[in-house]
Amino acid sequence: GTGLAMLELTQKILAPVVVGDTVWATVTVDGIRPTSRNGRAVVDSTIEVFNQRNERVMTYTARRLLAGR
């Protein structure tokens, strides 16, 4: 969906990232709660960021207001 608002963000930095590193992430949707306004929902997700050695360098949880179908 289209992001409308970042409602909450909790971030934990676990290791440094330096110039030349390659990073990638996984996103897990933990919950979806429709709002009273049609076509919108509050979505909770957990994001884990890894470097090229598959070491987790950052995690964060996000609560966003999204517009969808």
Q: Dig out the tokens for 30 from the structure.
A: 């933990």
pLDDT digits (tens, 9 = 90+) for 12-50: 999 999 999 999 999 999 999 999 988 899 999 999 999
- The percent of residues above 90 in pLDDT, for the chain, comes to 90
Distance CA 9, CA 45 (A): 10
Helix, strand, coil % over all residues of the chain, rounded to 5: 0, 65, 35
pTM: 0.84
